[in-house]
Structure 1
Amino acid sequence: MKKDNYKWIALSCTTIGALFSVLSGSTLMIALPVIMKDLNASMNVVTWTIMGYMLAMTILVPSIGRMADMVGRKKLYVSGFALFTVASLLCAISQTGVQLLIYRLIQAVGGSLMVANSTAIVADAFPKKELGKALGINSMIISIASVIGPILGGFLINVGWRSIFYINIPIGIIGTLWAAFQLKETSVLSEKQKFDIKGTLTFSTGMLALLVALSFGGFIGWFNFAVIGLIAVSIALLWWFVRIENKTEEPMLDLRLLKTRVLAFAYASNLLNGVARGAVTFLLIFFFQGIKGIDPIVAGMLLAPMAISMMIISPISGYLSDKYGARILSSVGLLVSAIGLLGMMFITSTTSVAELVIWMLIMGIGSGMFFSPNTSAIMGMVPANKRGVAAGVRTMATNAGNVLSIAISMAIISSSISPDAMQALFIGTQVGSEGIAIGQFVSGLRMAFTISFIFSIIAAVISYLRGPEPVWSQEENAA
């Protein structure tokens, strides 16, 4: 098989995986109210079917990326596809909310195996000068899935919520077989490598404590004893993790990825962008349902403009980053996102849907300008034998930012809305402003969007301040 043909085949494999995992998540969000009633599940269990998946992905992806650098990306990617497919079947036949939660966590392991390897597989297959274009196409497909997901979910609810998981099975079987027969191991694997078990366990436990604390902080208060205790434990464990990695010959996470200014700033801008935009759709769903009284499925569809503009811009920005570099495009993209957030900072109870659509379009353009070039910069700057963990850290930074963003927003919103109204709005069983202090609620939204705007500006500055490319050893570059 010619290398030129193989790169497009590799991209098709990872694109099916991206479409698969994003569609699964976006269709499920719409179905939560129906699932809650049918399985007689509690609010906590239903919430954790979403949050648990996100937390598991954030924690697992870096260590799986390191494992892929050791044993090969194809094996883990195909295994992830197969596991995700089997877990979809288990989710479809769940009889209780707890069963669904457990099977979703199994799905998260499969999703982590796919996500940790997909970007690295593309980076292995494409030459550096075409990497931005390839990643832009991947981002475009993810955006398409974000647009289609709520619409498909609304249609499938009429068939039955279990069909949301059943539809994954034929796609999963095709994707697994296509990847198994078409993907190749293109990176040269070093022999007799050791897996850093001590570092992996310390990192995973520390990240779990931190993310659970951030998740619960918005619900039960930031000064709750349990939240403070978890944050203290996470700081101690992550500090110990850094000490372990500095003394280990073959660490789980090569800290040069974070010590090198250009990579550290690219990762930091990824994290801050996650904080800036992670809760935007979450907040707008509350506004559309709680203030405008719009049906949950229609409210989900109204978020499409952000994904559509991102879908159009992502491949273009990826192509341009191959020609002109990532620094300016990424930084300008974050500034454009900030303009969209600036518009949302002045939201009122009478703000029209049309006006919000304009701000969402601008945010989508900015996000499309940022993601592909920034990812291309990260993946193009590391040697082949570091791409798995480099991609894993990038995904972890984005997901951690999203979790923090939602936690901050929950803390702000919970002060202006009754617990019953929040629960009803969150799962879509209430449409309208009953139980909401509208003035306080809108002020809370403004505060949340203001914080997001500030983080987006900081992210733009950090993105622009990235320095020269890192210097790796000849052995690492040869790999």
Structure 2
Amino acid sequence: MKENNYKWTALSCTTIGALFSVLSGSTLMIALPVIMKDLNAGVGVIMWTIMGYMLVLTILVPSIGRIADMFGRKKLYVSGFALFTVSSLLCAMSQTGVELLIFRTIQSVGASLMIANSTAIITDAFPKHELGKALGINAMIVSVAAVIGPILGGFLINFGWRTIFYINIPIGVFGTIWAGVSLVELHKSARNETFDFKGTFSFTIGMLALLVALTIGGFTQWSSRPVVILFIIAAVLLGLFVYTETHSKYPMLDMTLLKTRILSFAYLSTLLNGIARGAVTFLLIFYFEGARGFDPVTAGILLCPFAVAMMAVSPISGSLCDKYGSRVLSSVGLLISAAGLLGLMEIRTNSSTFSLIICMILTGIGSGMFFSPNTSSIMANVPEDKRGIAAGVRTMFMNAGMVLSIAISMAVISSSISPAAMQALFVHSHVSAGSIASNQFISGLRVAFTISFIFSLFAAFISYLRGPAPKWNSQSAKN
């Protein structure tokens, strides 16, 4: 197989996986109010079908990335595709909100296996001077899924929300077979290395305790006993994790990734961007379907400008990154996102659709300018034997930011509106657009967007502080 042809084959396989996972999430997001009503589920359970999914990704992806560096990427990627497909069938058969939550959690394990390996597979296949373009194309396809998803979800709801999961099955079967047949294991795995079970255990439980404490604390009392206990557990285990990793011959997480300036600031800006932007789509869906009373199809169409703008800009920014570097592109992108969020801070029940579209376009352009160059700066500046864990850590920070974003936003909104009123607003239980509940929701929404704006500015500042490319002492480096 010619190397030049294989790189595009690898990109097609991993892009189908990205399309698969993002399409599933974006179609589900638009259906949340309908699922709440059909399964008679509370806001908390439905929110956790989204947050729990990202929580598992945050925790598992770094460990899976390390396993991939040790044993290879192809088998893990194909296994993830198959698991995601089977769990989609289980989600479609859910009879309660809790069942859906459990099966979505299983689905997130499959997604972790795909996501942890897809970026590394692309980086293995492409030469360094074409990596930005490849990642930009991948990001563009992801944006296509984000465009199609809400519209498709709104359309499929007419046949029942379960069809959102059923449609995953043919895509998953094709993608699993295509990846299994086409992918080649280019990475030479280090089978003589041992897996860091102590570090993996302390990281997994410590991160789980920390993220659960942060989300529960936002909805209850920060000083409540369960939250305090979880914070203590997190502090002890994450402290043990850092100690273990600095003294282990084969650590799960190579701490030099966080000690290198260009990588540490790229990771930190990823986290901050996740906090700034993670809840935007989630909040706008409930704004359009709840406060404005639009049907799911209309709401899906109104969300398109964000994804269309990101789709258009991602491949361009990726190619520009190959020529001019990531620092300025990523930082300017975050500032443009901040401009869009600044406009959303003024959102009202009667805001003009045109003004909202402009704000979403700006946020989408900024996201497209940030994502590809920032990812390229991480993956292009680590040696081959660290790509799996480098990609895993990037995903960990991105998803941790998104989990925190939704938790913070929902905590802000929950403080301004009663749970019963929120439930009624989200399932369209005869709550008018000018009601007290609707006004309270809008008030909380504006505060949430203000917080997002501040984090976006902070992310731009951090992104600009990244330094020169590191010099690694590694036997394997990218040509």
Task: Report the TM range for the smaller structure's normalisation.
Answer: over 0.9
Task: Report the residue type matching 2:13 in the other structure.
Answer: C
Map 1:450-461; keep pairs closer than 5 Å.
Answer: 450-461=450-461
Say if 2:460 is the partner of 1:465: no
Map 1:227-306; keep pairs closer than 5 Å.
Answer: 227-306=227-306
Could you say which residue in structure 2 is the equivalent of 1:104? 104
CA contact (8 A) 2:310 2:365 kept: yes
CA contact (8 A) 1:418 1:436 kept: no
TM-superposition CA deviations, 1:300-332 (whole Å, max 9, x none): 331111111000000000011011111110011
**Structure 2: gaps (5+ residues):** none
Q: CA deviation at 1:289?
A: 3.7
Q: Report the TM-score when normalising by structure 1.
A: 0.95
Distance 2:411 2:43 in 1: 17
CA contact (8 A) 1:421 1:434 kept: no
CA, structure 1 residues 19+325, in 2 after alignment: closer, same or farther (shift >3 Å)?
A: same
Distance 1:404 1:427 in 2: 24
Map 1:110-149; keep pairs closer than 5 Å.
Answer: 110-149=110-149
Q: CA deviation at 1:283?
A: 2.6
CA, structure 1 residues 136+438, in 2 after alignment: closer, same or farther (shift >3 Å)?
A: same
Range moving further from structure 2, 328-337 or 154-163: 154-163
Could you say which residue in structure 2 is the equivalent of 1:153? 153
Task: Report the residue type matching 2:79 in the other structure.
Answer: S
Range moving further from structure 2, 23-32 or 352-361: 23-32
Distance 1:433 1:231 in 2: 40
Could you say which residue in structure 2 is the equivalent of 1:224? 224
Task: Report the residue type matching 1:235 in the other structure.
Answer: A
Distance 2:29 2:44 in 1: 15
Could you say which residue in structure 1 is the equivalent of 2:90? 90
CA contact (8 A) 2:330 2:374 kept: yes
CA contact (8 A) 2:412 2:448 kept: yes
Map 1:393-412; keep pairs closer than 5 Å.
Answer: 393-412=393-412
CA contact (8 A) 2:7 2:122 kept: yes
TM-superposition CA deviations, 1:235-278 (whole Å, max 9, x none): 22111110110011000000001011110000000000011111
Could you say which residue in structure 2 is the equivalent of 1:344? 344
Q: CA deviation at 1:87?
A: 1.2
Say if 2:32 is the partner of 1:32: yes
CA, structure 1 residues 474+26, in 2 after alignment: closer, same or farther (shift >3 Å)?
A: closer
Map 1:160-179; keep pairs closer than 5 Å.
Answer: 160-179=160-179
CA contact (8 A) 1:417 1:435 kept: no
Q: Secondary structure at the match of 1:346?
A: coil
Q: Secondary structure at the match of 2:150?
A: helix
CA, structure 1 residues 212+10, in 2 after alignment: closer, same or farther (shift >3 Å)?
A: same
Distance 2:311 2:109 in 1: 27
CA contact (8 A) 2:88 2:165 kept: yes
TM-superposition CA deviations, 1:148-206 (whole Å, max 9, x none): 11111122222232222221111111101110111011111123111101100100001
Q: CA deviation at 1:380?
A: 0.4
CA contact (8 A) 1:68 1:76 kept: yes
Could you say which residue in structure 1 is the equivalent of 2:58? 58
CA, structure 1 residues 393+207, in 2 after alignment: closer, same or farther (shift >3 Å)?
A: same
RMSD: 2.0
Could you say which residue in structure 2 is the equivalent of 1:370? 370
Could you say which residue in structure 2 is the equivalent of 1:417? 417
**Structure 1: gaps (5+ residues):** none
CA, structure 1 residues 119+206, in 2 after alignment: closer, same or farther (shift >3 Å)?
A: same
TM-superposition CA deviations, 1:82-134 (whole Å, max 9, x none): 11111112222334433332222111111100000001100100111111111
CA, structure 1 residues 17+424, in 2 after alignment: closer, same or farther (shift >3 Å)?
A: farther
Distance 2:387 2:477 in 1: 11
CA, structure 1 residues 357+156, in 2 after alignment: closer, same or farther (shift >3 Å)?
A: same
Task: Report the residue type matching 1:29 in the other structure.
Answer: M
Q: CA deviation at 1:435?
A: 6.2
Q: CA deviation at 1:415?
A: 2.1
Task: Report the residue type matching 2:60 in the other structure.
Answer: L
CA, structure 1 residues 428+237, in 2 after alignment: closer, same or farther (shift >3 Å)?
A: farther
Distance 1:445 1:53 in 2: 23
TM-superposition CA deviations, 1:322-363 (whole Å, max 9, x none): 111111100110111111112222334442121011011011
CA, structure 1 residues 297+212, in 2 after alignment: closer, same or farther (shift >3 Å)?
A: farther
CA contact (8 A) 1:59 1:204 kept: yes
Range moving further from structure 2, 107-116 or 448-457: 448-457
Q: Report the TM-score when normalising by structure 2.
A: 0.95
CA, structure 1 residues 16+462, in 2 after alignment: closer, same or farther (shift >3 Å)?
A: same
Task: Report the residue type matching 1:166 in the other structure.
Answer: Y
Q: Secondary structure at the match of 1:474?
A: coil
Identity of matched residues, %: 68
Distance 2:282 2:407 in 1: 11
CA contact (8 A) 2:261 2:467 kept: yes
CA contact (8 A) 1:92 1:162 kept: yes
CA contact (8 A) 2:349 2:433 kept: no
